[in-house]
Amino acid sequence: MDLGLKDRVYVVTGATRGLGHASARELVADGAKVVVTGREEEAVAQAASALGPDAVGVAVDNADPEAPALLIATARERFGRFDGVLVSVGGPPPGFVADTTDEQWQSAFETVFLGAVRMARAAAAELREGGVIGFVLSGSVHEPIPGLTISNGLRPGLAGFAKSLADELGPRGVRVVGLLPGRVDTDRVRQLDALSADPEATRQAAESRIPLRRYGTPEEFGRTAAFLLSPAASYVTGVMLPVDGGFRHGF
């Protein structure tokens, strides 16, 4: 199936590893060009190099108010156009309500929430018909995940923002979509499993609650993201799509 991605240009934040990198890799594999970001220059350079000549890396912090304009300008200067963005941000630190400090909440809000809002707002001002804004969120949009209090507080708000943005941009032909990963086998999920006394037992218990009886792979998530960002999904907007092996039981 031709997704129509050839020569389209996307910004993918948080793309040095994990779900962001997997999404960038699948976009490039289908013919797109990408600007990938991360906070560490060396990691960004390595990620861009791994993706090949159709990728360029920019080291920025999502919390930097100047980052969105820089990334969009880089897309236009390097590849001649800008067709969309996938806002992927590493998860905030785990912890329960009593364990999380004001400083942790403030830092996560600046990076996870406000940084994503700024990037989407800047993209919305630049995109024309056929453009797309995607958010990598979490299953916590629908149901809180024990031990991830900050994420549980911020991700549902971003989903609400994304839905409002979809309504506002729809008349212009610009789409907004969200992806809700479940247990995908990334460093982040392995770190969360490792917080338990028996990580292997924790994983087996989690897999037993997933209808497909396994964790997803980053490639599976990346292919889903590439489709939703592509012209092949041109009539899909305002949705929060679980990529979780069937873990969410609600409709």
Classify 224 as helix, strand or coil. Answer: helix
Centroid of chain to Cα 33: 17
Q: What is the pLDDT of residue 236?
A: 98
Report, in this order, helix, strand and coil percent for the chain, each rounded to 5: 50, 15, 35
Backbone angles phi, psi at 17, to 5 degrees: -165, 180
Pairing of strands 33-38, 55-59: parallel
Q: What is the pLDDT of residue 91?
A: 76
Task: With beta carbons less than 8 A apart as the criterion, state whether 38 and 51 touch.
Answer: no
Non-local (6+) Cβ contacts of 54 within 8 A are 28, 32, 33, 34
Q: What is the pLDDT of residue 182?
A: 93
Q: What is the pLDDT of residue 66?
A: 96
Task: With beta carbons less than 8 A apart as the criterion, state whether 120 and 135 touch.
Answer: yes
Q: What is the pLDDT of residue 90?
A: 75
Q: Divide the 251 residues of the chain into consecutive groups of 10 and give the mean pLDDT of each group.
A: 94 95 97 96 96 97 94 98 93 86 93 95 97 95 90 94 98 98 91 87 93 96 98 98 93 80
| Helix (DSSP H) and strand (DSSP E) numbers for the chain | 9, 7
Structure tokens at 99: 């364990």
